[in-house]
Amino acid sequence: MLKLLSPSHFHSFHHRANFLSSFLPKPSHLPIPIPPPPLRSLIHSHQSIPPRRTRAQCLANSRRNLSVRALESSASETKKDKDGGGADSDSETELGKSVDDNNGSLRGNGDYADGEFVFQKRDGWKSFVVKLRMLFALPWERVRKGSVLSMKLRGKISDQLKSRFSSGLSLPQICENLIKATCDPRISGVYLQIDPLSCGWGKVEEIRRHILDFKKSGKFIVAYVPACGEKEYYLASACGELYAPPGAYYSLFGLSIQASFLGGVLEKVGVEPQVQRIGKYKSAGDQLTRKSMSKENCEMLTAILDNIYGNWLDKVSEGQGKKREDIENFINEGVYQVERLKENGWIKDILYEDEIIDRLKERLGHAKEKSLPMVDYKKYSRVRNWTLGLTGGKDQIAVIRASGSISRIRGPFSAASSGITSEEFIEKIRSVRDSKRYKAAVIRIDSPGGDALASDLMWREIRLLAASKPVVASMADVAASGGYYMAMAAGCIVAEDLTLTGSIGVVTAKLNLGKLYERIGFNKENISRGRYAELLAADQRPFRPDEAELFRKSAEHAYRQFRDKAAFSRSMTVEQMEKFAQGRVWTGKDAASRGLVDALGGFSRAVAIAKQKANIPQEKQVTIVELSRPSPTLAEILSGIGTSIVGLDRSMKELLQELTTSDGVQARMDGIMFEKLEGESYNNPILSLLKDYIVSI
């Protein structure tokens, strides 16, 4: 451990490596340690159905006439501010003139395309063309007629596309497989095996919507769930046929959120976190400074939990054909026996997997002694949309995916597919802006935030892109803090009902390690020039009053910039935006009712809106161009063929990936809350180091 923490290895750290500074002689400006957290090609089936106007749309309409007055309000506010903080109103107003009146804006018109999937059975010439293409398909695209598509959904589901050699599941490929299977005459049905999931409710909702769309084809879809919680049942219940083995683990007991606090622990070891967070709901930093949950954080988490639980009860009761009260009463009985679940209609039958396969053989007319023709998720992902006649439109829509924590540059140990770096993202944005091929763009975001400067740089580039062509932001599990910062630059924001949204606030921190140094006999002395030269360098003492004041002003300035740009982007006054900012996280549904989101839905609706804004008829096919397609790394190739990678275990790789430069203010959502809502079991090496240290003293 001492070798790993050698001072020569570090200068400044990313969020998860903060506690290491307690062992180093050269500290730097440290952000908060928070753990970092996929294509729909059947576009011609998205018909333009006049949508029902929601409260959110009506509210959004009433705000559009505010236009860019938000920044004028901000400017006047800045003049009154003795500290001289606030946004640069001149530059923002200029940007507003160049961006606000563009062909990609539907502001002032809340009638967004529905994007609802409508199954259209092929016949005649189209059917002949598809069969001809299948006849000459490449060997790896060939599927036996009457096959069952088998997919195992478990663990983490990424919003990014995966290469052939990458492990794990990809949301866009799961959804695309269901779309292809809907129209593929060779596929008779789908067999889903669902195990505990480590993804958010936004991704679960997207998959559930595609399951319901698949059922419109008349084909069967069967779910086998041996271990089931609320999230897994929410997904499986959409299938209609749900089976479980006799010894299945079912725990439908309700939902909870937990938050952990290190304030007392750090106090005991002599570490004093000095955190500046702007916004009373901005709970990032509470993990370090508090010993219990704040009233504001409790209020926010309670509202989010009520939204998730209420949505679960509504959707499950609707799918089961039961009253909401009956569902809730059954949950409150603490039922775990699969026999009772079958008696009450929660599952169709209790069967082992081989018995389910035998039933599928019988349904498809196969002899019991013969094997059931099946095609798995990975192989079916290689079947091209072109083969099934699901692409070919002249008009192209670019899709840029942004998933993970935000930083300005990629660290030397970071994987190419890990996180969002503003440098790489901006290159893609500019390529879309400079190209005449693309009629519109969809920015797909799944991020809890990160570096505030990187978020601002990407905001600017997305705004410039929106000046030349329609841009729609589609949000997955989470688009909070820096993630929302990116989204608000688009002409339209689309979120799932339960997407974690907003968290308009900032946080920055420094650790005072004086007492810890004293206990372990370590000493540090500084020689400096300049009044504030030791602001971030002197970690052996707390801030002086003037340093603390400068630290506070810096964070407040960053917050005002974020808030004012949010107000400008959403056509609100600063006063209106302040009510919804303050670092508060909303669900997508609540965010829509407050004008932070324009429409509710998934990726398919975002594409439909992009077509609408680009004046492309909804019934017309378009070509989706994924600009974030991964290139397999050597490590992935070696891993794919079963070779271990030079003995590095998961914890060490995660630690090395986080040793990257990330100075400055952070626009980041509370990682603890994100971890618990996601169900993700983050292996935080910094907390492990902290635990090891405490044990050793």
At residue 131, the pLDDT reads: 85
- Give residue-wise pLDDT tens across range 550-591: 999 999 998 999 999 999 999 999 999 999 999 999 999 999
Which helix (H) or strand (E) segment is 485 a member of? helix 482-487
pLDDT tens figures, 366-381: 888 889 999 999 999 9
SS3 of 309-375: HHHHHHHHHHHHCCCHHHHHHHHCCCCCCHHHHHHCCCCCEECCHHHHHHHHHHHHCCCCCCCCCEE
Which residues form the catalytic set? Answer: 481
Rounded Cα–Cα distance for residues 573 and 24 (Å): 45
pLDDT at position 278, please?
Answer: 85
The length of the chain in residues reads 697
**Residue 686: alpha-carbon gap to chain centroid:** 23
Q: Is 424 exposed, middle or buried (0-12, 13-18, 19+ CB in 10 A)?
A: middle
* Between residues 164 and 446, the one the model is more confident about: 446
Output 88 or 4, whichever has higher pLDDT: 88
- Identify any residues that bridge with 407 across adjacent strands, giving them in sequence order: 421
3-state secondary structure of 36: coil
d(CA 512, CA 538) in angstroms, rounded, equals: 8
Q: Per-residue pLDDT averaged across 321-345, rounded?
A: 92
Return the DSSP state at 65: T
Q: How is residue 556 written in tokens? A: 């407040």
* DSSP assigned state of 237: G
Average pLDDT over residues 630-652: 42
- Are 56 and 595 within 8 A, CB to CB? yes
For residues 565 and 373, what is the distance between their CA atoms, to the nearest angstrom? Answer: 55
507: Cβ–Cβ under 8 A, 6 or more apart, which residues?
31, 32, 275, 276, 277, 278, 282, 284, 285, 555, 665, 666, 668
pLDDT band at 30 (very low <50, low <70, confident <90, very high): very low
Q: What is the DSSP letter of 544?
A: P
- Residue 281 has a pLDDT of 86
Tell me, what amino acid is at 345?
G
| Reported confidence tier of residue 416, pLDDT bands at 50, 70, 90 | low
Q: What is the C-alpha separation between 678 and 446, in angstroms, rounded? A: 12
Q: Tens digits of per-residue pLDDT, 229-279?
A: 999 999 999 998 999 999 999 999 999 888 888 888 888 888 888 888 888
Identify the three-state secondary structure at position 494.
strand
Q: Are 271 and 22 in contact (CB under 8 A)?
A: yes
Closest CA to 662 of 480, 500, 508, 488: 508
Comparing 135 with 544, which gets the higher pLDDT? 544
Beta bridge partners of 276: 508
Evaluate whether 279 touches 559 at the Cβ level (below 8 Å): yes
DSSP state of 50: -
| Distance, CA of 676 to CA of 354 (rounded, Å) | 35
- Joined tokens for residue 39: 């294509």
The least confident of 9-18, 488-497, 622-631, 682-691 is 9-18
480 has which bridge partners? 502
Token readout for 143 is 């599927």
**Of 598 and 12, which is predicted with more confidence?**
598
pLDDT over 90 at 148, yes or no: yes
User: Which three-class secondary structure string do you get for 406-466?
Assistant: EECCCCCCCCCCCCEEHHHHHHHHHHHHHCCCEEEEEEEEEECEEEHHHHHHHHHHHHHHH
Residues ≥6 apart with Cβ < 8 Å to 642: none
pLDDT digits (tens, 9 = 90+) for 524-553: 888 999 999 988 888 889 999 999 999 999
Does 349 have pLDDT greater than 90? Answer: yes
Pull the structure tokens for residue 223: 């779910």
Alpha-carbon distance of 659 to 21, in angstroms, equals 12
Q: Are 551 and 510 in contact (CB under 8 A)?
A: yes
**Pairing assessment for the beta strands 147-155 and 666-668 based on DSSP bridges:** unpaired
Cα–Cα distances (Å) from 445 to 201, 419, 537, 600, in that order, read 14, 11, 35, 14
Which pLDDT score, from 0 to 100, does residue 417 have?
55
Q: What letter does residue 137 receive in the DSSP assignment?
A: -
> Both tokens of residue 228?
């089931």
Instruction: Provide the pLDDT for residue 11.
Output: 33
Residue 133, number of CB atoms within 10 A of its CB = 15
Structure confidence at residue 414 (pLDDT): 55
* Most confident stretch, 88-97, 440-449, 636-645: 440-449
Please tell me the distance from the alpha carbon of residue 571 to that of residue 574, in angstroms, as a whole number: 9
Is residue 359 a contact partner of residue 351, using CB atoms and an 8 Å limit? Answer: yes
Least confident segment among 48-52, 269-273, 374-378, 688-692: 48-52
Helix (H, G, I), strand (E, B) or coil at 480: strand
Q: List pLDDT tens digits, range 149-197.
A: 999 999 999 998 887 767 789 999 999 999 999 999 999 999 999 999 9
What sign has the CA pseudo-torsion 106, 108, 109, 112?
A: positive
Q: Can you tell me the distance from the alpha carbon of 658 to that of 35, in angstroms, rounded to the nearest whole number?
A: 10
Taking the C-alpha atoms of residue 209 and residue 19, their distance in angstroms, rounded to an integer, is 42
The predicted pLDDT at position 664 comes to 61
Q: Which two tokens mark 537?
A: 């360098």
**At 22, is the secondary structure helix, strand, or coil?**
helix
Cβ-contact 284, 277 below 8 angstroms: yes
> Which residues lie closer than 8 Å to 278 by C-beta, 6 or more apart?
505, 506, 507, 555, 556, 558, 559, 583
- Percent of the chain predicted with pLDDT > 70: 73
Residue 60, H or E segment: helix 55-64
Give the pLDDT score at 368. 84
Please, what is the average pLDDT of the chain? 78
